A and B are shown apart, each in its own frame.
Chain A
Amino acid sequence: MMIIGRRKALPVAIGLAVAGSLTLTACKGTRSDAVGEVPGSVQLIVPFAAGGGTDTFARVLAPPLGKALDGSPSIQVVNREGGESITGTNQFVKQNPNDGSQFLVASATTTYQWLLDIPQVKYDFNTLKPLIVAGTGGVIYASKDSGINSVQDLKSPPKPLSYGGISATGLDLSTLLAFNLLKLHPKVTFGFEGRGPARLAMQRGETNIDYQTTSAYLTQVKPMVDKGQAVPLMSFGVLDDNGNVVRDPNFKDLPTVPEVYQMLYGKKPSGAAHDAYVAFLAAGFSFEKSVWATPETPEGVRQAVIGAVPTLKDDKKFEQQRKDSLGDYPLHSGPEVSKALKKALTVPDSVKKYVFDMLKNEYHTSVQ
C-alpha cells in the first residue's frame, strides 16, 4: 500500500523539479548554432497527413539524407496536417527554428495557398530558403463512357463533360486552368476527399474526365487504358530552362496542354489564360515538392543540406524509391533552382487577378 507523507515531501519535490528544470534550461543556452552545424536531431515538418504524397517523399528522403549529412543526424518526419497544409506551415514559421533542427517539406498545395493570398496564410515563400526541390507531372484522361476517343473530340464533346475535384483552391486549380485555356467547360463537382475517390467516381460513371499525377496514373489509370476503359488525352507538360512548356519525359507520346490548344484552335496559345496556366504549372508540378529552411537558419546548415543532394542522386535505392513515388523527374538544389523557383513563385498581379476572376465567375469561389 502507498505511504502517506505529504508535508515533508512537497518542498522536496518542488525543489527537485525547479532544480531539474534549471539544469535543463542552462543546457539550452550552451547550444552552438552560430557555427552552422546540422544538429544531431532534425525534424522534417510535413504539413500533410501521414501516407500522402508529400509524407512519402519526406519519409523516402529522411534516411539517405541523414546518412549523407556530416555526423549522420537522426532525421524524423513529423506530420502536422490540416487546412490545406496552411496550419502546419504557419506553425513552422511561427516557431521559427533557426538552428537547422527543423525543415519544412511543402507541396504545391502549400505554395498555391500562398500564391492565392488565402487570408489564413502567415508564411512567405519569398523569405523562406529552398534547399531541395523535386518535380512531378500529371495526365488528363477521359472515361470510355464520355465518348471521347481523341483530343479532337474535346471541341464538341459527344456528352457533357463532368469533372470531380477536391477544392477550387487546391491542386485542382492547374486542371481548372487547363480547362480554361482549352475553353472546355466541364461541369465541376467539388467535395471529393482526394484524387483517389475522384478517380473511383469516374470509374462509376459519376464523372467522365479526370486527372492523376504521374505515379497514380501509371499504377491506377494505365491498367484502365490498357483495358480500353480510359482514354489518355494530354499531359500537363514540364517547363524547360527557358520557361517553355515541353513534353513530359514520362509521357513522350502525349501532347501537352498548350499543344492541344494548338491542335484545337490552330494557333499557339497566348494571353492571360496561357500565362495563368504556365504560372501555376511551375508552382504546381515542376516544383511540386520542396524542402525549405527559415531565412535565419545559418548558411552553413543550409549549404550542408544542399551539398548532400549529389550524394542523394548517387544513392540508387533512394532514386528508385523517389521515382516510383513521384515519377521520373529531376531533383534540384543549389542556386540555379533557387532562382528558377523564385521566378516560378513570382506570379504577376494581373495573372493572379485573372485567376481570382475565373474562380469567382466560373466556380463561385471567392478567395478573400
Chain B
Amino acid sequence: MLDAALNALAGFANPATLMMLAIGVAAGLAMGVLPGLGGTAAVGILLPFVITLDPSQSLPILIGAVAVVHHSDVITAILLRVPGSASAAVIMPDGNAMARRGQAARALSLCFVASMIGGALGAVGLTFSIPIAEPLVLAFGSPELFMLTILGISLAALLSKGNMLKGLVSAGLGLLIGMIGAAPAAAVYRFSFGADSLLDGVGLIPLALGLFGLAEIAHMVARKTAIAEKIDIGGGWLQGAREALREWKMMLRGVLVGMWAGVLPGLGATAGTYMAYGQAAATAKGKDRKAFGKGSPKGLVAAESAANSVEAGDLIPTLLFGIPGGAPAALLLGALLAYGIQPGPQMLTNHLDVMYTVVWSFAIASVVGSVVCFFLAKPLARLSFVPFQYLAPGLLLIMLVAAYAESGQFGAIVAMLVLGVMGYVMKEADFPRAPLLIGFILSVPMERYYFLTDSLYTTGEWIHRPFVIVMALILLAPLALKLFNAMRRRRSVDDAGSSVTDEREQVQESPQHVLVGASGGSSQRATGDVGGGVGAGWHATPTGGGSGDAELPDDAEEGGLAGSRWPLVFGVLVLGTFVVAFVLAQGYASRARLMPVFVTVLGIALTGLFVAREGRAVVKGDRRVLSWNLRVAQTGLAFGWLLLFVVLVFLLGFSVATLIYVPLFLIRVSRLSPLRTVAYTMVAVAVLAVAYLYGNIDLPGGILLPALPVLYG
C-alpha cells in the first residue's frame, strides 16, 4: 500500500501533472468565489475537456477543483454577505461580524488555514478510513440516519439564540419548503401547483442565494451604500492564522464531523458544515459561547475545516460503493465510468494507483488552494470598498446563472426572487434564516429515513440500536441539564417560577422542538426572550427609520423592523401558509401526508403563538407604527429592479436581457459614466457568451429570443 502511495506521489513530480492540478485548483477557486457556483459548475466546465485525457492527468484536474471550492467560497460571504455556496452561509454571520469590526483579514485567514488543514486532514482521513469505511457505513442504517437528521434539525434552535420562537417558526418554514416536489416515500408530487419547475422542489442554490444573497443585494441597492462602510480589512492575517492553529482541537473535531457527514449518504456539505458549527457552539462555554454568531473564531474554524473535509468524505462512498455523496462527486463518478474505472471494493485491488492519485491530488490542492487564497484575498478584499451598486448587476448576473444552472429551469430564478423577498423580510423582522436553511436541507432526508425506519424495523428494534441511543442521549442531555438548573434556581430564586411556567407552556405546544431547543443549550436567555419578549421589547424602542445601528453595534443591519408591526404581518402570512399547506396535505396519499401534517400542525402552533404575542404587543402599543416609510419604499423599488431583470430574461433570453438591463441599471441606479457603462456591459456579455459557448454553462432562453441569439448567425 505504501508503495502505491509513494508511486502516486512520484507522479506529481511530473510538471504536466502539477500543471493539471493547478488548472483544476484555479477553476475550483474561481467557481468558489462566484456566488452559487461551486464544485458542480467547476467539474461541469472541466469535464468535456478532461474526458479526452488520461486518468492520471484528468483526476488531478477534477479533484483539484473539488478540493478547493470551499476555500474561496467564504470570501464573498465575509466581505459582501453574499454566500459563495450554500455551506458558506454557515460562516457568514461570524465572518461578516468580524469584517464589520475591521477584522476581515483575520476572518479570512482563520477560514483559509482551517480550509487548508481541513482538506489535508480530510485526505489523510480518506486514506485511513478506506479499510474501515465499509463496516462503518453498514453500521449506520436508516434508524441512525433518521436520528442524525433529527439531531441536525435541533441545530435550528441553537442557531436562533435569543430568538427561539422565531427560529423555530423559521425552521418549520424550511421543513415545509423542503417538502415541495416529489415525496420520498410515495409516488406523489406535493405543493407543486402544476409547475414543472416545482416537481423536484426548490433547489438548494436558489434557496441559499435568494434567502441570503438576493436579500442582501436588495437591501444594499435600497441603501446605496458601500458594503462595509467605514471598514477596512485590517492586518490580522498572521493573527488569524495563529488563532486557527491554536484551535487545532476544534479543527480536528470539524474534520471528523465533516468526513462523517460526507461518508453518509443524503446529508450533503451544507448539513455537515452546520453540524460541525453546531457542535462547536453547543460545547462552548462562557465568553466563547456568547461569541457564536458574532465573530467566533471557534465557529469559523469548525465550520470551514468541516466544509472541506466533507468533500474528502464524499469520495469514500463514491469510490468504494459507486454512491456519490454530492453533485460534484457524482460528476467525478461519471468521469471514472467513462474511463472504464468502475468504483467498487475492487478499487483497492485493481486501481490502487487511482485511489492514491485522488488522495494526493486532494491534499496538495488543499494546501495550494489556501496559499492562493491568501494572495487572492487582498485584491478581492478591495471589493468591499467598491460601492455596492456597481457590484450589484454583476452579482445579480452570476446568481441568476447559478440558480438556473442547477436545474435548467426558469422557475428556479423565480423561486430565488420570491425567496429573496422572504429573506429580506426575515432579516428585517429579526427572524434567523439559518434554521430555515437547516430545515430545508434535512426535510426530505428526515422523511425518507423515518419511513424507511418505520417500514424496515419495529419500534422496539430500532430504538434500542446503540447509535440511536447515543444520539438520543446527545439530544436529551442538555435538556436534563437545563431542567436540573431550573430546579436548582427555583429553589434559590422565587422569581424563576415564571420562566419555568413559560417552558411548560412550550413543551405542550411542541415537545420535540423544545427538547431540541434545549439541546442547543441555548441558555436561559433564549427562553427568557421568548417569554419576556412581549413586555421587554428588546427591539420595541422606537428608533427612527432603520437606524438601529447604534443600539446593536454587532448586528447593525439586522432586525431594522423588529420593533414594528411588520413581524406581525409576516407572522400572519406564515400562519396562512401553514394552514393552506395543512389543507392541501389532506389530499395526499397517507405516506406523503404524515410529515406535512406533522410539520404544518407544529408550524401553526408555533406561528400562532408568535402571532398572538406580537398581536398582544401591538394592542398594548409596544410596536411602533412603521407603515409605508421611505425605507420600505426604497426596498420595494430595489426588488422592482431585480424583478425587471427576471422579466427581461423571461422575454428576451439571458444575453439580450443583460445587454439591456446592465446599462440601464448602471446609469439609473449606479450613476456610472457612459464609457464605463459600455465597458462593463460588454465585458459582462462577453463573459456570458464565452461561458455559454465554451464553458458548458447553460443560460436561460426567453420566450421571444434564445439564450444567445448570435449563435445562429
Q: Quick one: given A2-B387, A81-B407, A325-B337, are A220 and B344 in contact (CB under 8 Å)?
A: yes
* Contact in complex: A189, B322 (CB < 8 Å): no
* Contact in complex: A120, B344 (CB < 8 Å): no
* Contact in complex: B196, A91 (CB < 8 Å): yes
* Contact in complex: B409, A31 (CB < 8 Å): no
User: How far, in angstroms, from A173 to B365 measured CA to CA in the complex?
Assistant: 44
A256 at interface by CB-CB < 8 Å = no
* Contact in complex: A30, B712 (CB < 8 Å): yes
Q: Which of A1-35 contact B (CB under 8 A)?
A: 2-6, 8-10, 12-14, 16-18, 20-21, 23-25, 27-28, 30-31
* Contact in complex: B200, A196 (CB < 8 Å): no
Q: Quick one: given A162-B456, A200-B137, are A324 and B330 in contact (CB under 8 Å)?
A: no
- The residues of B that contact A207 with a CB separation of less than 8 Å are 456
User: How far, in angstroms, from A20 to B187 measured CA to CA in the complex?
Assistant: 48
* Contact in complex: B44, A193 (CB < 8 Å): no
A230 at interface by CB-CB < 8 Å = no
- Residue from the list B184, B265, B696 in contact with A191, Cβ < 8 A: B184
Q: Which of B611-656 contact A (CB under 8 A)?
A: 652, 655-656
- The residues of A that contact B321 with a CB separation of less than 8 Å are 196, 199-200, 220
- The residues of A that contact B317 with a CB separation of less than 8 Å are 196
Min CB gap A85→B, angstroms: 10
User: How far, in angstroms, from A86 to B678 measured CA to CA in the complex?
Assistant: 42
User: How far, in angstroms, from A192 to B142 measured CA to CA in the complex?
Assistant: 10
Q: Which of A191-221 contact B (CB under 8 A)?
A: 191-194, 196-197, 199-201, 203-204, 206-207, 215-216, 218-220
Interface residues on B, range: 35 or more
* Contact in complex: B323, A27 (CB < 8 Å): no
* Contact in complex: A189, B709 (CB < 8 Å): no
- Interface residue stretch chosen among A53-61, A177-185, A272-280: A53-61
- Residue from the list A2, A81, A187 in contact with B672, Cβ < 8 A: A2
* Contact in complex: B448, A193 (CB < 8 Å): yes
Q: Which of A33-68 contact B (CB under 8 A)?
A: 39, 41, 43, 49-52, 55-56, 59-60, 62-63
- The residues of A that contact B660 with a CB separation of less than 8 Å are 14, 17-18, 21
- The residues of B that contact A194 with a CB separation of less than 8 Å are 323
* Contact in complex: B674, A321 (CB < 8 Å): no
Which of B339, B342, B346, B667 neighbours the largest number of chain A CB atoms within 10 Å of its CB?
B667
- Residue from the list B141, B407, B663, B676 in contact with A82, Cβ < 8 A: B407
A367 at interface by CB-CB < 8 Å = yes
* Contact in complex: A80, B407 (CB < 8 Å): yes
- The residues of B that contact A197 with a CB separation of less than 8 Å are 265-266, 323
Total interface residues in chain A, CB < 8 Å:
87
* Contact in complex: A27, B664 (CB < 8 Å): no
Which of A30, A168, A191, A193 neighbours the largest number of chain B CB atoms within 10 Å of its CB?
A191
User: How far, in angstroms, from A203 to B457 measured CA to CA in the complex?
Assistant: 15
* Contact in complex: B334, A59 (CB < 8 Å): yes
Q: Quick one: given A10-B668, A24-B710, are A91 and B409 in contact (CB under 8 Å)?
A: yes
Min CB gap B681→A, angstroms: 7
* Contact in complex: B330, A62 (CB < 8 Å): no
A87 at interface by CB-CB < 8 Å = yes
Q: Which of A138-191 contact B (CB under 8 A)?
A: 162, 164, 167-169, 187, 189-191
* Contact in complex: A192, B452 (CB < 8 Å): yes
- The residues of A that contact B652 with a CB separation of less than 8 Å are 21
- The residues of A that contact B705 with a CB separation of less than 8 Å are 21, 24-25, 28
A320 at interface by CB-CB < 8 Å = yes
User: How far, in angstroms, from A12 to B678 measured CA to CA in the complex?
Assistant: 9
* Contact in complex: B48, A62 (CB < 8 Å): yes
- The residues of B that contact A219 with a CB separation of less than 8 Å are 322, 342-344, 346
* Contact in complex: B327, A51 (CB < 8 Å): yes
- The residues of B that contact A25 with a CB separation of less than 8 Å are 656, 705, 709
- The residues of B that contact A63 with a CB separation of less than 8 Å are 48, 51-52
A78 at interface by CB-CB < 8 Å = yes
B197 at interface by CB-CB < 8 Å = yes
* Contact in complex: B340, A320 (CB < 8 Å): yes
* Contact in complex: B332, A87 (CB < 8 Å): no
- The residues of A that contact B186 with a CB separation of less than 8 Å are 167, 190, 365
A95 at interface by CB-CB < 8 Å = yes
* Contact in complex: A51, B324 (CB < 8 Å): yes
- The residues of B that contact A325 with a CB separation of less than 8 Å are 337-338
- Residue from the list B40, B181, B340 in contact with A50, Cβ < 8 A: B40
- Residue from the list A51, A187, A192, A367 in contact with B333, Cβ < 8 A: A51
A83 at interface by CB-CB < 8 Å = yes
Sample of 30 A–B contacts (CB below 8 Å): A3-B676, A5-B671, A9-B672, A10-B664, A10-B668, A13-B664, A13-B667, A13-B677, A21-B705, A24-B659, A27-B713, A30-B712, A51-B330, A55-B334, A77-B696, A80-B408, A81-B407, A87-B199, A90-B196, A169-B187, A187-B455, A190-B187, A193-B266, A197-B265, A206-B452, A206-B457, A219-B342, A220-B345, A364-B590, A364-B591
In the complex, besides A62-B48, A167-B182, A190-B185, 20 extra interface pairs with C-beta distance below 8 angstroms are: A3-B676, A9-B677, A17-B663, A24-B709, A30-B712, A50-B334, A56-B334, A56-B337, A59-B335, A59-B338, A80-B407, A81-B200, A193-B448, A196-B323, A197-B266, A206-B457, A219-B342, A219-B343, A220-B321, A321-B340
